[in-house]
Amino acid sequence: MSLLDDLGAADEILGGRSRRPARDVTITEAPATDARHPDVVAHRALRRAVFVDEQGLFRDDIAGDLDEHDHDPRAVVLVARDGAGEVLGGVRLAPVDPDTARPDLGWWTGSRLVVAPTARRRAGIRVGAALVRAACARAEAAGVLRFEADVQAANETLFRRLGWQRVRATTVAGRPHVRMRRPVGRFAALVAATKAPLGELVAGLAGSGAHVGDDGAPVPGSDVVAACDAILPAMVERDPEWAGWCGVLVNVNDLAAMGAEPIALLDAVGARDASFAHRVLTGLRAAAEAYGVPVIGGHTQLEVPASLAVTALGRTTTPVAASGGRPGMAVRLTADLHGTWRPGYTGRQWDSTSTRAPADLRAMVGAIGPRAAHRPAAAKDVSMAGVVGTLGMLAEASGTGAVLDVAAVPRPAGATPADWLTCFPGFALLTADEPGAPAPSAGPATSAVCGELTDTVTGTAGVALRWPDGETTEAVAGGVTGLGAAPRGGAGAPGPDRARTTEGTTP
Residue 75 sits in which domain range?
Answer: 10-184
Domain annotation covers residue 1: no
> Whole-angstrom Cα distance, residue 457 to residue 466?
19
Q: Are residues 326 and 468 in the same domain?
A: yes
Pairing of strands 472-477, 175-182: unpaired
∠ CA 491-493-497, nearest 5°, is 85
The values of phi and psi at residue 394, to 5°, are -60, -45
Q: Are residues 157 and 236 in the same domain?
A: no
pLDDT score, position 353 = 97
Domain annotation covers residue 3: no
- ω into 294 cis (within 30 of 0): no
CB contact at 8 A, 284 and 248? yes
Q: Are residues 263 and 173 in the same domain?
A: no
CB contact at 8 A, 194 and 504? yes
Q: How large is the average pLDDT for residues 405-417?
A: 96
> Whole-angstrom Cα distance, residue 70 to residue 53?
19
pLDDT score, position 374 = 95
Q: What percent of the chain has pLDDT over 90?
A: 76
pLDDT score, position 379 = 97
Chain segment 278-336, per-residue pLDDT in tens: 999 999 999 999 999 999 999 999 999 999 999 999 999 999 999 999 999 999 999 99
Cβ partners under 8 Å of residue 28, min gap 6: 39, 78, 79, 81
pLDDT score, position 491 = 41
Q: Quick check: 409 pLDDT over 50? A: yes
Chain segment 464-497, per-residue pLDDT in tens: 999 999 999 999 998 899 888 887 754 443 333 3
The values of phi and psi at residue 227, to 5°, are -135, 150
Q: Quick check: 506 pLDDT over 60? A: no
Total domains in the chain come to 2
> Whole-angstrom Cα distance, residue 329 to residue 428?
19
Domain annotation covers residue 2: no
> Whole-angstrom Cα distance, residue 359 to residue 234?
31
Q: Is 129 helix (H, G, I), strand (E, B) or coil?
A: helix
Domain annotation covers residue 339: yes
Domain annotation covers residue 75: yes
Specify the CATH number for the domain of residue 267: 3.30.1330.10
Return the CA Rg of the chain. 26
The values of phi and psi at residue 407, to 5°, are -70, -20
Q: Quick check: 441 pLDDT over 70? A: yes
Cα-Cα end-to-end distance for the chain: 41
> Whole-angstrom Cα distance, residue 267 to residue 246?
12
Domain annotation covers residue 5: no
Q: Is 314 helix (H, G, I), strand (E, B) or coil?
A: strand
pLDDT score, position 211 = 74
Specify the CATH number for the domain of residue 136: 3.40.630.30
Q: Are residues 204 and 57 in the same domain?
A: no
Q: Are residues 415 and 465 in the same domain?
A: yes
Chain segment 145-191, per-residue pLDDT in tens: 999 999 988 788 888 999 999 999 998 888 889 999 999 999 999 99
Q: What percent of the chain has pLDDT over 70?
A: 90
* Helices vs strands, H then E, count in the chain: 12, 22
∠ CA 396-402-403, nearest 5°, is 160
Point out the domain boundary residue: 125, 155, 184.
184
Q: How large is the average pLDDT for residues 347-358?
A: 96
Q: Are residues 160 and 230 in the same domain?
A: no
pLDDT score, position 206 = 57
Q: Please give, one letter per residue, the 3-state secondary structure of 337-405.
A: CCCEECCCCCCCEEECCCCCCHHHHHHHHCCCCCCCCCCCCEEEECCCCHHHHHHHHHHHHHCCEEEEE
> Whole-angstrom Cα distance, residue 326 to residue 272?
49
Minimum mean pLDDT range among 45-54, 121-130, 215-224, 439-448: 121-130
Q: What interhelical angle do 386-398 and 186-194 show, nearest 10?
A: 70
> Whole-angstrom Cα distance, residue 78 to residue 70?
13
Q: Are residues 231 and 111 in the same domain?
A: no
> Whole-angstrom Cα distance, residue 179 to residue 241?
50
Q: Quick check: 17 pLDDT over 60? A: no
Instruction: Tell the burial category of 470 from Cβ atoms under 10 Å away from its Cβ (0-12, 13-18, 19+).
Output: exposed
Q: How large is the average pLDDT for residues 345-369?
A: 97
Q: Are residues 107 and 231 in the same domain?
A: no
Domain annotation covers residue 452: yes
pLDDT score, position 351 = 97
Domain annotation covers residue 4: no
Point out the domain boundary residue: 133, 156, 184.
184
pLDDT score, position 210 = 67
Q: How large is the average pLDDT for residues 89-96?
A: 96
Chain segment 219-269, per-residue pLDDT in tens: 999 999 999 999 999 999 999 999 999 999 999 999 999 999 999 999 999
The values of phi and psi at residue 195, to 5°, are -125, -30
Point out the domain boundary residue: 127, 157, 184.
184
Minimum mean pLDDT range among 113-127, 263-277, 285-299, 396-410: 113-127
Q: Are residues 282 and 412 in the same domain?
A: yes
Chain segment 58-79, per-residue pLDDT in tens: 889 988 899 999 999 999 999 9
Q: What is the chain's mean pLDDT, rounded?
A: 89
pLDDT score, position 501 = 52
Q: Quick check: 12 pLDDT over 50? A: no
Q: What are the b/e assignments for 405-437, b being 16+ CB within 10 Å?
A: bbebbbbbeebbbbbbbbbbbbbbbbbbbeeeb
Q: How large is the average pLDDT for residues 193-209?
A: 76
> Whole-angstrom Cα distance, residue 423 to residue 298?
29
Cβ partners under 8 Å of residue 175, min gap 6: 57, 152
Q: Are residues 501 and 359 in the same domain?
A: yes
Q: Are residues 228 and 367 in the same domain?
A: yes
Q: How many residues does the chain have?
A: 507
DSSP class of residue 65?
Answer: T
> Whole-angstrom Cα distance, residue 256 to residue 320?
9
Q: Are residues 136 and 242 in the same domain?
A: no
